[in-house]
């Protein structure tokens, strides 16, 4: 009957067969966590436990469905279909639906998605006269969500300040939802908690029904979820909590690792450890272990692998983020041939979505198919499309879609009704919308004088920058547009999570502009205008999407949780990237370390870490420092290409040593030599790359080190004086032609 148990190792089997009390299963990376959960449920059913007496809580519907399917295969019966298995929200929805009279809702209540909730918040703000420049609907909704997930009621929120703007919106939001007979996703948690805590008979009914409770990814549960589990916990209930404290990376969603570390110990849970990693090679597991051991707050475990030893974790160093992208692409192509692999076997991981831009561009240039997971392609993100729409309009004022996108963004009082009249007039007269905007009186545009003035102001703004577009380079024009259009104020009005992400994307866009100008200058193109940049971007973003599944995967480390790939690249391992610039406390640093641990343990056979000695930040080339975490990985498991990076020096790293002041996005353009001098004072070990002297005393065969492209050999020299050009074959980025007047390099070997 239980033949399926032979598929388990001894540790897995012990965890599966324990049914005499509550247990905490600490499942190391790649140790078969999902298998243990699945087999435990199958085992419970095989020993006579009724399916309706089992409650299994997961974090995704996909995980629940896959587990049900697997249980059905193991037992060759349909009992799995009657198990109370699903996400926290889906299970609690069913409980609330069954007890709707107890929560003062009508039986036909519906659920708001995030967009529905945001629209409601926006309408309330408008009615309350709240300035959406000071408080964004997204920011307020995030605050409400945080309060609900921490079981903070409206009364508690307003306890200390009845004039609290967000608190009053929270109060109105709750009342409106109740009147409309709707709940949002957070309500499914807080209403279930209120039901169980206020209605003891209902709680007892479910505690008696659920004899066995199993919770997947327990380290990712938030406060509300944890308190509900605690309410259901009784002596006659066996709870199985499965998770890995070393993979707790979602504190920004409310996850609280402390509960995992304290609740089971407080209640005398029996602890099981799954320490064998079935996913990765010995070297990858050992490297990850040597990193995570530096965390103080953790449950000790000795994760090991019986797989092949495999190659060491690679460490590749780039001179710039551009070279870093080239190194990754070059290595992918090499491994495709050497290992006879497919593109789908490769994954590139990064800390934030903004880092994908340079990687994407290089993948496109080298014709390597890729897919972004958990986010849009960089140039398809809303805030980037907004900026580009302004730039497109300056280059081509007849671009109708660009006009529609920005004519009232940021808000300038040109509504849909006005836009309809403009469009109708353009259609009737067979002219472009811009033609009507340019001379509304000639086309007898029927709008108020005040509206005409707003249209004229928008028209004049674009016309002004059409003239400037012939005078300013792409970087200068782009940053001015950001400033003068109001987009900068729109994105920097507050530091909500939504806006911080937008700010990071805007900053990366500025980097793209500066990078583009510098590249063209070095190639001997002195005048680099916004039209040139838009042409480049259109070629990058208009690549055909043929839904080819054989693609390289690009995603944030957070998005990669639970996934695995034969070949993994982790890019941008620098201070202020990972650990992120916004973290400071030891608790936050430990989560950043866990984040890198998760990234490394996604790799099955090959793991490559990369960092760049310099990268554009806010449109300015800055020197970067290797991430402190690189110093914590045992060098015995690292194939280190950077002989200057000293590992495990025994020196305690002070957090302040690594701090670099955050610049503002729209700094005036500063000559590279000034910036280099500035950061030379901070980090003396970095070489400087001065713009070359006028004699350009180099010859064919010389080996140079370029600030962004790295090491290369001069293969051809042409021209004289300020027009002298060098063709250089670089080790990683291919052949480049540089105008020596602008090139930043030093000769390393004659």
User: Which residues are identified as catalytic?
Assistant: 33-34, 216-217, 247, 602
Estimate the crossing angle of helix 185-198 against helix 137-149, to 10 degrees: 30
DSSP, residue by residue, 100-128: GGGGT--TT-EEE-HHHHHHHHHHHHHHH
Q: Rounded to an integer, what distance in angstroms lies between the CA atom of residue 173 and that of residue 121?
A: 7
**Torsion angles phi and psi, residue 696, rounded to 5:** 45, 55
Q: Rounded to an integer, what distance in angstroms lies between the CA atom of residue 212 and that of residue 42?
A: 12
- Which among 578, 573, 647, 557 is positioned nearest to 610, based on CA atoms? 573
Q: Rounded to an integer, what distance in angstroms lies between the CA atom of residue 114 and that of residue 126?
A: 18
Within 8 A by CB and 6+ apart from 307, the residues are 277, 278, 280, 281, 282
- β partners of residue 110: 182
Annotate 461-476 with b (16+ C-beta within 10 A) or e (fewer): bbeebeeebeebbbbb
SS3 track for 314-346? EEEEECCHHHHHHHHHHHHHHHHHHCCCCHHHE
Q: Are the CB atoms for 182 and 112 separated by under 8 Å?
A: yes
* DSSP 8-state class, residue 310: -
The CB density around residue 699, as the number of other CB atoms within 10 Å, is 11
Distance of CA 297 to the CA centre of its chain: 25
Q: Backbone dihedral region of 444: left (phi > 0), alpha (psi from -120 to 50 degrees) or beta? A: left
Q: Are the CB atoms for 440 and 434 separated by under 8 Å?
A: no
Distances (CA, A) of 726 to 489, 688, 744: 43, 20, 12
Q: Rounded to an integer, what distance in angstroms lies between the CA atom of residue 406 and that of residue 423?
A: 15
Dihedral sign for Cα 162, 253, 249, 317, please.
negative
- 19: three-class secondary structure by DSSP: coil
Q: Backbone dihedral region of 353: left (phi > 0), alpha (psi from -120 to 50 degrees) or beta? A: alpha
Torsion of CA 735, 739, 742, 746, to 10 degrees: 60
Residue 519 structure tokens? 């590249």
DSSP, residue by residue, 396-442: -TT-HHHHHHHTTSS--S--HHHHHHHHHHHHHHT--HHHHHH-TTT
Tell me how many degrees the CA angle 308-327-530 measures, rounded to the nearest 5.
Answer: 150
- Which among 569, 635, 561 is positioned nearest to 591, based on CA atoms? 561
Torsion of CA 173, 174, 180, 184, to 10 degrees: 90
Distances (CA, A) of 485 to 111, 133, 134, 444, 479: 38, 15, 18, 28, 10
- Which among 576, 599, 579, 577 is positioned nearest to 587, based on CA atoms? 579
DSSP H helical segments within 183-342, as ranges?
A: 185-198, 200-209, 223-232, 257-266, 282-292, 321-338
């Amino acid at each position: 009957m239980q033949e399926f148990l032979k598929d388990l190792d001894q540790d897995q089997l012990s965890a599966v067969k324990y049914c005499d009390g509550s247990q905490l299963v600490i499942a190391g990376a790649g140790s078969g966590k999902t298998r243990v959960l699945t087999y435990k449920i199958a085992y419970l059913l095989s020993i006579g436990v009724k399916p309706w007496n089992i409650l299994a809580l997961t974090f995704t519907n996909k995980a629940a469905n896959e587990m049900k399917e697997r249980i059905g295969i193991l037992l060759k019966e349909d009992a799995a279909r009657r198990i109370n298995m699903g996400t926290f929200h889906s299970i609690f929805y069913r409980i609330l639906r069954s007890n709707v009279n107890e929560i003062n809702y009508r039986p036909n209540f519906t659920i708001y998605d995030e967009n529905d909730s945001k629209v409601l918040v926006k309408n309330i703000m408008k009615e309350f006269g709240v300035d959406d420049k000071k408080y964004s609907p997204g920011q307020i909704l995030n605050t409400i969500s945080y309060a609900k997930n921490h079981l903070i009621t409206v009364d508690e929120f307003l306890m200390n300040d009845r004039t609290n703007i967000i608190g009053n919106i929270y109060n109105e939001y709750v009342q409106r939802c109740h009147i409309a007979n709707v709940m949002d996703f957070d309500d499914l948690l807080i209403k279930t908690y209120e039901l169980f805590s206020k209605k003891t008979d209902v709680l007892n009914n479910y505690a008696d029904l659920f004899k066995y409770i199993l919770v997947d990814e327990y380290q990712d549960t938030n406060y509300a979820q944890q308190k509900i589990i605690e309410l259901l916990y009784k002596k006659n209930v066996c709870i199985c909590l499965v998770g890995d404290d070393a993979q707790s990376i979602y504190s920004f969603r409310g996850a609280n690792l402390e509960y995992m570390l304290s609740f089971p110990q407080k209640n005398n849970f029996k602890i099981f450890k799954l320490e064998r990693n079935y996913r990765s090679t010995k070297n990858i597991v050992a490297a990850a272990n040597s990193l995570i051991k530096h965390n103080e707050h953790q449950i000790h475990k000795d994760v090991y692998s019986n797989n092949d030893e495999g190659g060491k974790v690679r460490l590749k160093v780039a001179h710039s983020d551009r070279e870093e992208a080239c190194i990754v692409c070059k290595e992918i192509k090499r491994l495709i041939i050497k290992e006879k692999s497919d593109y789908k076997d490769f994954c590139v991981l990064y800390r934030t979505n903004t880092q994908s831009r340079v990687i994407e561009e290089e993948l496109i240039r080298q014709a390597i198919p890729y897919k972004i997971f958990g986010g849009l392609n960089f140039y398809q993100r809303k805030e980037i499309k907004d900026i580009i729409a302004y730039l497109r309009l300056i280059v081509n004022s007849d671009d109708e879609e660009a006009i529609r996108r920005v004519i009232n963004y940021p808000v300038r009082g040109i509504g849909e009704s006005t836009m309809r009249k403009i469009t109708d007039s353009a259609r009737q007269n067979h002219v472009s919308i811009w033609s009507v905007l340019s001379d509304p009186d000639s086309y007898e545009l029927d709008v108020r004088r005040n509206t005409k003035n707003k249209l004229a102001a928008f028209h004049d703004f674009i016309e002004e920058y059409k003239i400037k577009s012939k005078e300013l380079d792409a970087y200068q024009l782009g940053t001015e547009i950001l400033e003068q259009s109001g987009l900068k104020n729109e994105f920097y009005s507050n530091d909500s999570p939504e806006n911080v992400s937008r700010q990071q994307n805007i900053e990366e866009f500025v980097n793209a502009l500066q990078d583009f100008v510098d590249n063209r200058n070095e190639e001997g193109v002195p005048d680099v205008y916004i039209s040139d940049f838009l042409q480049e971007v259109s070629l990058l973003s208009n690549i055909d999407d043929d839904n080819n599944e054989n693609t390289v995967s690009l995603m944030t480390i957070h998005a990669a949780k639970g996934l695995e790939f034969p070949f993994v690249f982790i890019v941008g391992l620098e201070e202020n990237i990972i650990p992120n610039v916004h973290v400071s406390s030891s608790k936050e640093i430990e989560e950043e370390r866990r984040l890198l641990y998760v990234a490394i343990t996604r790799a099955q056979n090959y793991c490559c870490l990369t960092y760049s000695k310099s990268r554009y930040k806010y449109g300015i080339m800055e020197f970067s420092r290797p991430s402190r975490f690189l110093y914590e990985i045992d060098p015995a498991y690292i194939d280190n290409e950077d002989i200057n990076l000293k590992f495990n020096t025994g020196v305690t790293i002070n957090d302040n040593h690594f701090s670099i002041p955050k610049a503002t996005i729209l700094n005036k353009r500063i000559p590279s030599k000034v910036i280099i001098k500035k950061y030379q004072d901070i980090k003396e070990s970095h070489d400087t790359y001065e713009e070359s002297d006028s004699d350009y005393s180099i010859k064919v065969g010389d080996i140079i080190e370029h600030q962004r492209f790295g090491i290369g050999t001069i293969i051809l020299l042409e021209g004289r004086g300020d027009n002298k050009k060098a063709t250089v074959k670089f080790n990683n980025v291919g052949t480049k032609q540089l105008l020596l007047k602008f090139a930043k390099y030093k000769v390393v070997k004659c």
